[in-house]
């Protein structure tokens, strides 16, 4: 997209089925629609010339929002605003509870302390944030951020970006988006999580 479409206000307020707790407007990030209630992170949509970003809790929810928003963009622009994608970022969040020890200690023992024991630095006691990339083959890259879960003992949080090249000339539909998200989580469980959880 080369410009930000102005979406119908009623459409925006009804997008999450909760118009009294939904806001819509422009900011530095673009045009934003956010529901300000329910489970965190709050569902939201950001539209700007570079991307459409959708935050939701389940793949079917994200796919449904994606379909509604792209259909509305096509409607308000009379189809004159083409939606072409070169990349798709599949961002997911994960949490593990009862990892057996404090998350800071777990991260330090697994990733930091082993490498530093050789150089005698026993004063390192906790890791607050760890970022790395897992590359599988030539075409799969997962950018991973691990943190102790704040306020929850013995828990670990991960924010993961599965960045994929989109080579099709067609815009993905609702089913494709849901399948991509489900496939990303499946790939993470089968190929990635065991790298740092075992």
DSSP secondary structure, 79-100, as one string? T-S----SEEEEEEEEEEE--S
**Contact, 90 vs 188, CB < 8 A?**
no
What's residue 1's pLDDT?
Answer: 47
User: Going residue by residue through the chain (198 aa), what tens digit of pLDDT does each one get?
Assistant: 457 777 899 999 999 999 999 999 999 988 999 999 988 889 999 988 888 899 998 999 999 999 999 999 989 888 766 667 777 888 888 888 888 888 888 888 877 766 554 555 555 567 788 898 988 877 788 999 999 888 788 888 999 999 888 888 788 889 999 999 999 999 999 988 888 787
What's residue 113's pLDDT?
Answer: 64
Q: Domain residue spans in the chain?
A: 1-83, 85-198
How big is the chain by its Cα radius of gyration, in Å?
A: 20
What's residue 2's pLDDT?
Answer: 55
What's residue 61's pLDDT?
Answer: 93
What's residue 82's pLDDT?
Answer: 65
Instruction: Tell me how crowded residue 47 is: count the other CB atoms within 10 A of its CB.
Output: 24
Q: In 128-160, which positions are buried (b, 16+ CB within 10 angstroms) versus exposed (e)? A: eebeeebeeeeeeebebebbbbeeeebbbbbeb
Question: Pairing state of beta strands 130-136 and 140-148?
Answer: antiparallel
């Amino acid at each position: 997209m080369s410009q930000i479409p102005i979406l119908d206000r009623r459409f925006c307020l009804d997008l999450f089925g909760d118009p009294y707790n939904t806001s819509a407007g422009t900011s530095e990030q673009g045009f934003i629609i956010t529901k300000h209630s329910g489970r965190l992170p709050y569902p939201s949509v950001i539209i700007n010339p570079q991307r459409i970003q959708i935050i939701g809790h389940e793949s079917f929810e994200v796919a449904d929002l994606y379909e509604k928003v792209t259909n509305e963009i096509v409607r308000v622009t009379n189809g004159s605003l083409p939606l072409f994608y070169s990349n798709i970022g599949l961002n997911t969040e994960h949490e593990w509870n009862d990892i057996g020890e404090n998350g800071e200690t777990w991260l330090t023992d697994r990733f930091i302390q082993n490498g530093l024991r050789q150089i005698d630095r026993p004063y390192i006691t906790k890791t607050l944030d760890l970022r790395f990339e897992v590359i599988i083959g030539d075409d799969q890259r997962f950018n991973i951020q691990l943190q102790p879960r704040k306020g929850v003992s013995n828990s670990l949080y991960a924010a993961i970006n599965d960045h994929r090249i989109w080579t099709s000339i067609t815009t993905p539909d609702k089913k494709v988006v849901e399948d991509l998200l489900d496939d990303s989580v499946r790939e993470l469980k089968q190929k990635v999580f065991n790298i740092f959880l075992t």
